[in-house]
Chains A and B, each alone.
Chain A
Amino acid sequence: MKFSYSLIKKFVPEIKSKQQLVEALTLHSFEAEEGPADTFEVNIPPNRFSDAASHWGIAKEAAAVLSLSLKFSISDFQSSRARNSKRPKNFKVSVEDKNSCPRYTAQYFENIKVKPSPSWMQKILKDCGLRPINNVVDIMNYVMLEIGQPLHAFDYDRLSNPSRMISNESQIHLNNIQDNSIKIKKIIVRRAKKGEKITTLEDKTYELNEDVLVIVDGFEKNLREKFAKDSRNVLAIAGLKGGKGPEVSNKTSRIIVESANFEPASIYKTSKALNLITDASLRFSHGLSPALAIIGLNRAAALLEEIAGVKRGEQFDSLIKPLPAKILKFNIFEFNRFIGLDLNERKAEKFLHRLGFKRLKGSEWQIPAWRLDIENHQDLAEEVIRLFGYNQLKSTPPLIYLSPSGFEDLIVLRDKIKKTLVGLGLDEIYNYSFISEKDLNLGHSWGKEVLELENPLSSQFKYLRPSLAAGLLKNIEENFRFFEEIKIFEIGKIFFKIDKNINEKNALGIVLFSKIKNKEPFFELKGVIKELFRQIGLADYIITEADKSDWLRDFTNGYLIPPTVLKIESNGKIIGYLGKVKNKNLKAETALAELIFDDLLRFVEEEYGYEPLPKYPAVIRDISFLVDYFQKIGEIMQSIKNVSSRLIDNVDFVDEFDVREKVGGKIKEDKTKTRSLTFRIVFQTPSRTLTKEEVDKEMKKIILMLRQKFKAEIR
């Protein structure tokens, strides 16, 4: 919010400079910043609009913070002059929705000469970003800047004349009613009717509904129903903006000034619904004290008299009883315990005094009516400590009960995954949590449905990511020009819906990409996953081919080559997948894996098992043979182990090649056994050294099995 430094200086003449003011406010009240020329900006917190969104308010703060005197008194403006004239002669006010309008004050003025306002006033308005219009309107705006209370002036003569609103037919009935009140102009505060319209001075028309509070002219409710169902003049949207028609013009000679208080939530909702924010709506929607209404009205009256030479008429005030005083107790012991300070009571009291709090009896304090933000002792403590100065506070180590501190289990697991993968040479990526429609069409989701945003920032960020795949594959596309090889991973939340239930899961995505000859990212990735499981202590898992019945194949269809998809299962549940990526743009093999690791937590074991170091030497034998192309390496290895599980320590896959001859670039299909495989078998027992004869015997058994089961041709 913009402020005029000269006006503050007028209220607190002892302030030395704008810089001094801005610094004092920033360190003790709220963020302030020097603006161009005579101005400065203050970031008024939402709970301080009632007392601080005005020059009077800022001057009060500055005076309190800098311990200077305030040369602006509102005591003359605080009392209502309406007590004796609840029913003024020239106009009537009826507040039909008292919840939405806790206070409505108004006053009649005549003898007005509309002309430009004095230049000093125009300058302050301009500095604060308002456009001068004429003396009446400018006084309304000036009082808002000065006191913080929005005001509105209606041209009295352009309010509907009740008799003119009545049709001829009704006129006859009306003559029978012996009530002068129908001849008096009347202001009504009520909810708008659905479809009612208002056109503002800028020629913008708003269609209203029952949620909107409006100011209308016309009859008392009972008469309105009888005679003029089309009560037509919506004078203003309460607390937001005045309408075209009763505005003050050069011809205006009599006015009614409105200074009201409106319920903040109602104004806020209307402002949001109509997408209309005004200086008045901003103040009302944050909440203003009803006490300000009469102060604003009286201040406006004084200025109208002084500047526009008007004659004051009668006042109206919907509030009959005076506002209740707000009283709170301040306890210095509680304060010191709360803040961690040893301030003496006198000093604390001085701070409260400076802020305009009045000490009653004992520890009771009366809170100024405009301080809507002060509700309890904690609020009083804030007032004292901010004037004392946060930066004067001494750092004090807390006295605490020691209790073991640590990371939540899932964080520990996630850190372990990150460290393992980085150790294996992978780089970590953070992508956005959102994906576009196009990304979504790639097809992957762990659940049936994705989650959509109601108010996406752009089409690029329309859905919550149901998988990390889209982001990671994009990373490869954007990076592959710069690198021979890319190994990346991301850990983050993914979101999807299954049977109306929203799932938010911790996922790990890995992508390996390589342009280097003879590198096989797919098998490297398989190795990365196995080593990862070993490092995090997950023993119970299997990696097998996903077949057509697995939902994985459908979901990953958009970006994986279906026959290459492997599923990763643990404890009977699919926890992840792995596959080769189909993407023509990349021109090199790319492999992708994704895992959901929330459920792994239950199955990972912290400790590695110890096995005694071998005492006796191992015997190593290599074996090569030819098999049909469809035979699976995984199955062959397992079968070898099974033959002699007692003596075999390990079976390693060494290599494979295609023995088919190429003739003129074409493969000759003349052999059935086209696949040559080599395995290394390690024989070892913990109890003794194995003899050559023993090993030969086992090898014979293995060869027999390979011949029988896999139709192998030993080379």
Chain B
Amino acid sequence: MNLEQIKQSAFKEIEESRDLKSLEGLRIKYLGRKSQLVEILHSLKDVPLNQRQKIGPVANVLKKELDELIKNRKAELREDEGSKKIDLSRPAQKISRGHFHPLTIAEEKICRIFLTMNFSVVEGPEIENEFYNFDALNIPPNHPARDLWNTLWLKTRTDADKTQIDADKTRTKADSVRENLGRNQRQSALLLRTHTSPMQIRYMETHQPPFQIIVPGRVFRYEATDASHEINFYQVEGLMVGSRVSLANFKFIIETFLKKFFGPNIKFRFRPSYFPFVEPGLEVDVWFKDKWLEVMGAGMVARKVFDAVRYNPDQVQGFAFGLGLDRLVKIKYNLPDIRLLYSGDLRFIKQF
């Protein structure tokens, strides 16, 4: 074999070597004491000078090249063999960012869905007064309808204030109950809002239709807590008012929402109900685990509510709805108990 042939076959074989042992064989074959190349180098002293000068450098270069090639191949094979020892089933390193609370996740999702339908998102105060929370929403004082909302009252009145309010109440008895609408004296009685509906009034007082808004927020009830009741929880209020906004429009908006939130196969139904600030009033149930579960109250905004915000009820119409966020989260994530949401238990939060 001449040098060129040695080079070709050595390169090929080294490249194709699959383990360190065979590579060592190749090293002996091509660079060992008895290898052809070494023999050629040894025999150089016996060849004429002009030939020696021709072959010598080429042979030496080839020896260097092969040395290098074997070294590199050896490194590669070592790496391969080392890698074979890595247990790829070893668990991944833990990389994590923090976790949003499930109520944040659900609220954001709901807001985004309504945003795609041209609704804007606004918020209101958690401390409310009797006027916005009740009177303006057609829930007069001394009416059992108020018992639908168990209220937490603030201890803010001095005794002097209190006497004034009591005197007020006596004056407003009997047939003048409804006259309270719009009366601002009663605003002194403060409470924690029992629903997000007061924002209907606050928003309409400062805006003119047409508009469509949703109002997410925390609300409060004087209620013993259990797996599905909390002293504070979240609602998302919706309000859409225009010249021709109809109940059929409400059905479209809510159907779209439910399908985007729960998936296209969600089954839902409407059922008549009563809230003093809507007429007709209804409730929306979704079919979940072989049962109808109530998820929101809704209806067409009552004339008296438009009266309270000084809209002309003959010229505008619209719908309002209030959905229980905690309950939606409970359904969506299959929670056994909504109190988990306020437990601050990180073993729970870190699941979302």
A binds B: yes
Q: Which residues of A contact B (CB under 8 A)?
A: 26-31, 45-48, 99-100, 211, 263-266, 268-269, 282, 285-286, 337-341, 376, 378-379, 381-382, 385-386, 390-391, 393-403, 405-408, 410-411, 415, 418, 421-434, 451-457, 461, 464, 471, 474-475, 478-479, 482-483, 486-488, 492-493, 495, 502, 504
Q: Which of B17-25, B45-53, B340-348 is near enough to bind chain A?
A: B340-348
What are 28 A-B contacts with C-beta separation under 8 Å?
A46-B276, A268-B142, A282-B144, A285-B144, A340-B248, A341-B247, A378-B279, A378-B300, A385-B247, A391-B269, A393-B251, A397-B249, A398-B245, A400-B118, A410-B123, A411-B121, A424-B97, A428-B99, A428-B349, A429-B101, A430-B101, A453-B152, A454-B153, A454-B155, A457-B222, A457-B223, A457-B231, A479-B344
Give the secondary structure class of B's interface. Answer: mixed
Q: Which of B32-40, B72-80, B171-179 is near enough to bind chain A?
A: B171-179
Q: Which of B6-14, B57-65, B85-93, B210-218 is near enough to bind chain A?
A: B210-218
Residue of A with least CB distance to B145: A46
Q: Could you say which of A391, A398, A402, A410 has the most chain B C-beta atoms within 10 Å of its C-beta?
A: A398
Instruction: Point out the residues of chain A lying under 8 angstroms from B272, CB to CB.
Output: 27-30, 382, 386, 390
Is A493 in contact with B218, judged by CB distance below 8 angstroms? yes
User: Nearest-CB distance from A10 to chain B (Å)?
Assistant: 25
Instruction: Point out the residues of chain B lying under 8 angstroms from A282, CB to CB.
Output: 144
Is A461 in contact with B231, judged by CB distance below 8 angstroms? yes
Is B120 in contact with A406, judged by CB distance below 8 angstroms? yes
Instruction: Point out the residues of chain B lying under 8 angstroms from A48, CB to CB.
Output: 274
Is A432 in contact with B232, judged by CB distance below 8 angstroms? yes
User: Nearest-CB distance from B297 to chain A (Å)?
Assistant: 12
Assuming A457-B231, A478-B345, A493-B126, what are 13 further A-B pairs, CB within 8 angstroms?
A27-B272, A99-B174, A338-B247, A379-B279, A393-B247, A405-B118, A407-B111, A407-B115, A424-B97, A433-B220, A453-B155, A456-B152, A502-B156
Is B346 in contact with A483, judged by CB distance below 8 angstroms? yes
Cα A405 to Cα B210 with chains together (Å): 13
**Residue B104, interface by CB 8 Å:** yes
Cα A434 to Cα B342 with chains together (Å): 12
Is A399 in contact with B273, judged by CB distance below 8 angstroms? no
Residue of B with least CB distance to A477: B344
Residue of A with least CB distance to B282: A390
Is A403 in contact with B232, judged by CB distance below 8 angstroms? no
Given A381-B280, A421-B98, A398 contacting B103 (CB threshold 8 A):
no
Is A378 in contact with B143, judged by CB distance below 8 angstroms? no
Instruction: Point out the residues of chain B lying under 8 angstroms from A407, CB to CB.
Output: 111, 115, 120-121
Residue of A with least CB distance to B115: A405
Is A406 in contact with B246, judged by CB distance below 8 angstroms? no
Is A400 in contact with B212, judged by CB distance below 8 angstroms? yes
Question: Which of A338, A433, A451, A464 touches B317 (beta carbons < 8 Å)?
Answer: A338
Instruction: Point out the residues of chain B lying under 8 angstroms from A482, CB to CB.
Output: 346-347
Q: Mark B159-196, 1 if CB is under 8 A from A, else 0.
A: 00000000000100111010000000000001010000
**Residue B333, interface by CB 8 Å:** no
Residue of A with least CB distance to B108: A415
Residue of B with least CB distance to A399: B244
Instruction: Point out the residues of chain A lying under 8 angstroms from B227, CB to CB.
Output: none
Given A401-B210, A405-B120, A488-B346, A46 contacting B148 (CB threshold 8 A):
yes
Question: Which of A398, A402, A427 touches B252 (beta carbons < 8 Å)?
Answer: A398
Cα A367 to Cα B220 with chains together (Å): 39
Cα A479 to Cα B350 with chains together (Å): 12
Instruction: Point out the residues of chain B lying under 8 angstroms from A471, CB to CB.
Output: 344
Is B280 in contact with A385, judged by CB distance below 8 angstroms? yes
Residue of A with least CB distance to B213: A405
Instruction: Point out the residues of chain B lying under 8 angstroms from A268, CB to CB.
Output: 142-144
User: Nearest-CB distance from B278 to chain A (Å)?
Assistant: 9
Residue of A with least CB distance to B251: A395
**Residue B100, interface by CB 8 Å:** yes
Instruction: Point out the residues of chain A lying under 8 angstroms from B177, CB to CB.
Output: 265
Is B231 in contact with A432, judged by CB distance below 8 angstroms? yes
Interface range, B side: 35 or more
Is A99 in contact with B175, judged by CB distance below 8 angstroms? yes
Question: Which of B154, B192, B222, B246 touches A396 (beta carbons < 8 Å)?
Answer: B246
User: Nearest-CB distance from A411 to chain B (Å)?
Assistant: 6
Is B115 in contact with A398, judged by CB distance below 8 angstroms? no
Cα A408 to Cα B104 with chains together (Å): 16
Instruction: Point out the residues of chain A lying under 8 angstroms from B280, CB to CB.
Output: 378, 381-382, 385-386
**Residue B119, interface by CB 8 Å:** yes
User: Nearest-CB distance from A707 to chain B (Å)?
Assistant: 45
Q: Could you say which of A386, A454, A486 has the most chain B C-beta atoms within 10 Å of its C-beta?
A: A454
Q: Could you say which of A31, A471, A486 has the most chain B C-beta atoms within 10 Å of its C-beta?
A: A31
Is B126 in contact with A398, judged by CB distance below 8 angstroms? no
Q: Mark B131-163, 1 if CB is under 8 A from A, else 0.
A: 000000000111111011000111110000000
User: Nearest-CB distance from B176 to chain A (Å)?
Assistant: 9
Give the secondary structure class of A's interface. Answer: mixed
Question: Which of A455, A474, A488 touches B222 (beta carbons < 8 Å)?
Answer: A455
User: Nearest-CB distance from B247 to chain A (Å)?
Assistant: 5
Residue of B with least CB distance to A420: B98
Is B273 in contact with A431, judged by CB distance below 8 angstroms? no
Q: Could you say which of B174, B211, B253, B273 has the most chain A C-beta atoms within 10 Å of its C-beta?
A: B174
Is B251 in contact with A394, judged by CB distance below 8 angstroms? yes
Cα A417 to Cα B133 with chains together (Å): 30
* B319-352 interface (Cβ within 8 A of A): 341-342, 344-347, 349-350
Question: Which of A286, A376, A426 touches B144 (beta carbons < 8 Å)?
Answer: A286
Instruction: Point out the residues of chain A lying under 8 angstroms from B252, CB to CB.
Output: 395-398
User: Nearest-CB distance from A578 to chain B (Å)?
Assistant: 19
Is A341 in contact with B248, judged by CB distance below 8 angstroms? yes
Instruction: Point out the residues of chain B lying under 8 angstroms from A398, CB to CB.
Output: 240, 242, 244-246, 249, 252-253
Instruction: Point out the residues of chain B lying under 8 angstroms from A341, CB to CB.
Output: 246-248
User: Nearest-CB distance from A65 to chain B (Å)?
Assistant: 10
User: Nearest-CB distance from B163 to chain A (Å)?
Assistant: 15
Instruction: Point out the residues of chain B lying under 8 angstroms from A408, CB to CB.
Output: 120-123
Residue of B with least CB distance to A264: B143
Q: Mark B204-247, 1 if CB is under 8 A from A, else 0.
A: 00000011100000101011100000011000000010101111
Question: Which of B174, B220, B247, B342 touches A265 (beta carbons < 8 Å)?
Answer: B174
**Residue B260, interface by CB 8 Å:** no
**Residue B127, interface by CB 8 Å:** yes
Is B118 in contact with A454, judged by CB distance below 8 angstroms? no
**Residue B27, interface by CB 8 Å:** no
Question: Which of A337, A426, A451, A455 touches B156 (beta carbons < 8 Å)?
Answer: A451
Residue of B with least CB distance to A502: B127
**Residue B271, interface by CB 8 Å:** yes
Question: Which of A99, A211, A393 touches B270 (beta carbons < 8 Å)?
Answer: A393
Given A268-B143, A376-B303, A422 contacting B100 (CB threshold 8 A):
yes
Is A479 in contact with B345, judged by CB distance below 8 angstroms? yes
Cα A402 to Cα B232 with chains together (Å): 35
Is A486 in contact with B346, judged by CB distance below 8 angstroms? yes
**Residue B5, interface by CB 8 Å:** no
Given A406-B115, A424-B98, A432 contacting B342 (CB threshold 8 A):
yes
Cα A492 to Cα B104 with chains together (Å): 12
Q: Mark B252-285, 1 if CB is under 8 A from A, else 0.
A: 1101000000000000011111101001111000
Instruction: Point out the residues of chain B lying under 8 angstroms from A495, CB to CB.
Output: 126-127
Residue of A with least CB distance to B284: A390
Is A266 in contact with B249, judged by CB distance below 8 angstroms? no
**Residue B312, interface by CB 8 Å:** no
Cα A429 to Cα B122 with chains together (Å): 22
Cα A399 to Cα B143 with chains together (Å): 38
Cα A553 to Cα B272 with chains together (Å): 57
Is B244 in contact with A428, judged by CB distance below 8 angstroms? no
Question: Which of B98, B152, B173, B345 touches A422 (beta carbons < 8 Å)?
Answer: B98
Is B101 in contact with A428, judged by CB distance below 8 angstroms? yes
**Residue B31, interface by CB 8 Å:** no
Cα A673 to Cα B44 with chains together (Å): 74
Is A422 in contact with B121, judged by CB distance below 8 angstroms? no
Is B96 in contact with A340, judged by CB distance below 8 angstroms? no
User: Nearest-CB distance from A191 to chain B (Å)?
Assistant: 11
Is A428 in contact with B100, judged by CB distance below 8 angstroms? yes
